[in-house]
A and B are shown apart, each in its own frame.
Chain A
Amino acid sequence: MSDKRVSIEEAVATIESGMTIGIGGWGSRRKPMALVREILRRDITDLTVVAFGGPDVGLLAAAGRIRRLVYGFVSLDSIPLDPLFTRTRERGGLEIEEYDEGMFVAGLRAANARLDFLPIRAGLGADVLPANPRLRTVRSPYSDAEYVAMPALPLDVALVHVNRADEQGNAQYLGPDPYFDDLFAMAAERTIVSAEKVVPTSALLDEGSFHTLLFSRIYASAVVEAPRGAHFTTCAPDYDRDEAFQKHYAASAKDPDAWAEFEQTFLQTDEAGYHAAVARFHADRGES
């Protein structure tokens, strides 16, 4: 059996400028933030990013790494909007392909099934159609019904963060929702799985039932152990969203000087430096 464990640097070194990358999680929930931070440290640009967006999209968009964003929404959940994303859009700095969430899911399913499209009711009459000239409708051969032919959203690489994985990439979530991480993995040529903890295969059922096994090693190409690798988004039950830090992120994002300081403190450092800076942030606020 192959050991797919690599360092975060090695994993992200395989991502090239111009690629289409899918980012798992949902809004500000179980995002592969450690992988995103590593992209920010490198000279990777011109990306097409496909995501149910949260701070992953905000950070990459503000840093100018995204050429085209394929998305249904960008939200921080407890804070409705991501200021980095909204600011980037409002200064005209982002090409978008906006889909309704239902269409987005159909696009991932089509990519896995190696279909050009899947028919879906959603989108008819909405501005996603006129806004995207590549979108077509399809007539049912069985009735007069017309559907949106949602094009496949194939990915060069998917990035997902899970609670546990074994060294071959069998991935497990222990929180309430798998989100669409399995669909992202299935829609991609290869998938980088970061995990809170890499455990032996035999230990995968120590903490969760059989049904928490999200996808198998067939969909994983690299495994990165990244403790607190979803920070500051939720990674229940390992940890909840760091609301204080997310507030600090959102407040800093609204002011250029504050943002420069945020970048210097938290982003212009390696992963260990990031977590040390976050610990100092909480210590300075008088938290233990």
Chain B
Amino acid sequence: MTATRAEVAVVACSDLFRGAGAILASTVGVVPTIGARLARLTHAPELLLSDGEATLYADTPAVDEPFREPEAPFPYARLFELIARGRRHVVMGAAQIDRHGNQNLSAIGDRDRPTRQLLGARAAATNTVNHATSYWIARHGPRVFVDQVDVVTGVGPARARANGADRFQDLRRIVTDLAVLDFTGPDGAVALASLHPGVTLDRVVDATDFPLHIPTGVSETRLPTDEELRLVRERLDPRALRDREVTAS
């Protein structure tokens, strides 16, 4: 079976949770949501999943289907307790991520008169100083990967260290439609970890508006196994919502 780009990204997201144990996996976006469910069905059976409202669920349904088997109540107030305790891995989105691994969800432009007002701070600051944090970027492009974010909502490695906020920080990876990045550059800068099959290094460099740290011997993101492809296509995303989020070209 030949995997699509979306399916490669799903598996890269699933791999974020390797060895996770009994923690909450929180995901924003279709691809990481399929990835977390795939992880629970394969290598990370102890993962906890929430419906994004107030329930942890025990079954692992398709990404566009409701759960049928609640496991425990999980209201928002409880979420903040759990975050402070650190037993969570979140995969957030970002309007911008800069070379130092800082993320922006809040607004683009001037603080008092933004050119584009976005969501606001959400819980990005809480997440990034308390527990494992990764990012999912469905369209890897120069407007997302910028030299410096306009507002720091999620805290990158250098700023965390400079502000004494690195004790529980655990930044993992950035999965995009083109590549997997991590924070292993100098002083925690964003670095290339692997290229998705069929994507050239030049393409990723062109799509990144800052000098991406490129280690020697960059590998290729692994392909899904036949079992993973079957689970994604038949069970977790039979209506192929993943292809709406990632249009490989």
Docked CA distance A98–B124 (Å): 12
Partner of B125, one of A126, A144, A180: A126
- Taken residue by residue from 95 to 121, chain B's Cβ proximity to chain A (1 for < 8 Å, 0 otherwise) reads as 000000000001100011111111111
Residues of B contacting A99 in the complex (Cβ-Cβ under 8 angstroms) = 121
Chain B residue at minimum C-beta to C-beta distance from A69: B120
How far does the Cβ of B114 sit from chain A's closest Cβ, in whole Å? 6
Docked CA distance A73–B120 (Å): 4
Residues of B contacting A180 in the complex (Cβ-Cβ under 8 angstroms) = 76-77
Most buried by B among A92, A102, A177: A102
A128 touching B114 in the complex, CB below 8 Å, given contacts A26-B76, A105-B77, A176-B54: no
How far does the Cβ of A265 sit from chain B's closest Cβ, in whole Å? 26
Residues of A contacting B76 in the complex (Cβ-Cβ under 8 angstroms) = 26, 177, 179-180
Q: Are B126 and A101 within 8 A (Cβ)?
A: yes
How far does the Cβ of B203 sit from chain A's closest Cβ, in whole Å? 28
| 8 A Cβ contacts from A57-84 to B | 71-75, 80-81
Residues of A contacting B156 in the complex (Cβ-Cβ under 8 angstroms) = 125
Q: Are B126 and A89 within 8 A (Cβ)?
A: no
Docked CA distance A232–B152 (Å): 33
Residues of B contacting A96 in the complex (Cβ-Cβ under 8 angstroms) = 111
Q: Are B111 and A122 within 8 A (Cβ)?
A: no
Residues of A contacting B123 in the complex (Cβ-Cβ under 8 angstroms) = 72, 100-102, 122
Q: Are B53 and A121 within 8 A (Cβ)?
A: no
Q: Are B122 and A100 within 8 A (Cβ)?
A: yes
Residues of A contacting B126 in the complex (Cβ-Cβ under 8 angstroms) = 100-103, 121-122
A122 touching B129 in the complex, CB below 8 Å, given contacts A89-B107, A100-B124, A180-B77: yes
**Is B2 positioned at the interface, with any CB of A under 8 Å from its CB?**
no
- Taken residue by residue from 171 to 213, chain B's Cβ proximity to chain A (1 for < 8 Å, 0 otherwise) reads as 0000000000000000000000000000000000000000000
**Is B84 positioned at the interface, with any CB of A under 8 Å from its CB?**
yes
**Is A218 positioned at the interface, with any CB of B under 8 Å from its CB?**
no
Chain A residue at minimum C-beta to C-beta distance from B83: A102
- Taken residue by residue from 34 to 65, chain A's Cβ proximity to chain B (1 for < 8 Å, 0 otherwise) reads as 00000000000000000001000000000000
A92 touching B151 in the complex, CB below 8 Å, given contacts A100-B123, A121-B130, A125-B162: no
Q: Are B155 and A124 within 8 A (Cβ)?
A: yes
- Taken residue by residue from 64 to 84, chain B's Cβ proximity to chain A (1 for < 8 Å, 0 otherwise) reads as 000000000101110010011
Residues of A contacting B240 in the complex (Cβ-Cβ under 8 angstroms) = none
Q: Are B165 and A125 within 8 A (Cβ)?
A: yes
How far does the Cβ of A42 sit from chain B's closest Cβ, in whole Å? 27
Further contacts, 16 of them, CB under 8 A, given A95-B112, A121-B168, A125-B159: A26-B76, A73-B122, A75-B119, A80-B119, A98-B106, A100-B153, A122-B125, A122-B129, A122-B130, A124-B155, A125-B152, A126-B154, A128-B125, A145-B167, A178-B77, A183-B77
Interface residues of B (CB under 8 A from A): 53-55, 73, 75-77, 80, 83-84, 106-107, 111-126, 128-130, 151-156, 159-160, 162-165, 167-168
Subset of 13 A-B contacts with CB under 8 Å: A73-B121, A86-B117, A90-B113, A90-B117, A98-B121, A101-B126, A121-B168, A124-B129, A124-B155, A125-B125, A125-B152, A125-B163, A131-B151
- Give 4 closest A-B pairs by Cβ, nearest first: A102-B126, A124-B165, A176-B54, A122-B126
